[in-house]
Amino acid sequence: NAGVTQTPKFRILKIGQSMTLQCAQDMNHNYMYWYRQDPGMGLKLIYYSVGAGITDKGEVPNGYNVSRSTTEDFPLRLELAAPSQTSVYFCASSYGFRQGTNEKLFFGSGTQLSVL
Amino acid sequence: DQQVKQNSPSLSVQEGRISILNCDYTNSMFDYFLWYKKYPAEGPTFLISISSIKDKNEDGRFTVFLNKSAKHLSLHIVPSQPGDSAVYFCAASAVYNQGGKLIFGQGTELSVKP
């Protein structure tokens, strides 16, 4: 019963490097999300997807890209890492929108990223 | 522009007593509210939710109260247990906000002491 799986758990990048944070869910959820958590700032939405092939920006999309080629996978790409992207990143999924407790998100365990 | 605010970064409570976590919001279009609980090195997990058509929702030891006129909600935990020690986030969504996008507060770290 994996749920939402994120890899890697930890990563240190140098300024200007690129990397992809992986996220996969096995619950056949339509909606997937990427959040970042900064100390004292709560969770900020970076990008979200309502289904395969459809993505849209959240509150803080600059410096990131996403793709959704399958229902299961939703990778987050950092092209030119900057110190401001040091954060904990959470991927989440949900069944749908406005269908009971669809806003009930299922989160992965997070990726702690440091950009030095 | 912080639409959902948790003004208390931390709260310490004795085991067996009541814990009250507060959350304020500014957007009157929010119509669904949730609380999430987060342990260290784990992702947040859903705890309890409430629709704006209600003013109270109860689930075991957890009760959420909604005061729409004050744009305020609170989470009550009775009785508090050491295992409740975690960071609690409140979150809100609006029907016009397609995609079920939640707006989260900053979180309150609850410590329940034996």
Phi and psi at residue A85, in whole multiples of 5°? -95, 5
Q: Assess whether pLDDT exceeds 60 at residue B66.
A: yes
Give the model confidence (pLDDT) of B8-60 as tens digits: 999 999 999 999 999 999 989 888 899 999 999 899 999 999 999 999 999 99
Chain B positions touching A109 (Cβ under 8 A) are 41-43
Return left, alpha or beta for A16; rule: phi > 0 is left, psi -120 to 50 is alpha, else beta: left
Give the model confidence (pLDDT) of B80-103 as tens digits: 999 999 999 999 988 665 555 788
Task: Choose the mutation target among B3, B25, B101 for the interface with A, i.e. most A CBs under 10 Å.
Answer: B101
Determine the Cα angle at A107 with ends A101 and A112, to 5°.
155
pLDDT at residue number B96 = 65
Q: What mean pLDDT comes out for the span A32-61?
A: 91
| Chain B contact for A56 (CB, 8 A cutoff) | yes
Chain A positions touching B100 (Cβ under 8 A) are 31, 94, 96-98, 102-103, 105
Please give the residue of chain B at the shortest CA–CA distance from A10. B41
State whether A44 and B93 contact (CB < 8 Å).
no
**Residue type for A44, please?**
K
Residues 6+ apart with CB under 8 A from B64: B33, B35, B48, B49, B50, B56, B57, B58, B73, B74, B75, B76
State whether A103 and B42 contact (CB < 8 Å).
no
Q: How many helices (DSSP H) and strands (DSSP E) are in chain B?
A: 0, 11
Picking from A42, A94, A106, the nearest residue to B104 by CB comes out as A42
Q: Do B5 and A70 contact (CB within 8 A), yes or no?
A: no
User: Which of helix, strand or coil describes residue A60?
Assistant: coil
Which residue would you say has higher pLDDT here, A96 or A45? Answer: A45
Would you tell me how many other CB atoms lie within 10 Å of the CB of residue B40? Answer: 7
pLDDT at residue number A42 = 87
State whether A90 and B43 contact (CB < 8 Å).
yes
Task: Choose the mutation target among A5, A90, A99, A105 for the interface with B, i.e. most B CBs under 10 Å.
Answer: A105
Q: Assess whether pLDDT exceeds 50 at residue A57.
A: yes
Chain B positions touching A40 (Cβ under 8 A) are 9, 106-107
Confidence tier at A2 by pLDDT (50, 70, 90)? confident
A:74-103 residues touching chain B, CB 8 A cutoff? 90, 92, 94, 96-98, 101-103
Confidence tier at A109 by pLDDT (50, 70, 90)? very high
Which residue would you say has higher pLDDT here, A73 or A40? Answer: A73
Confidence tier at A99 by pLDDT (50, 70, 90)? very low
Strands B86-94 and B108-113: what pairing?
A: antiparallel
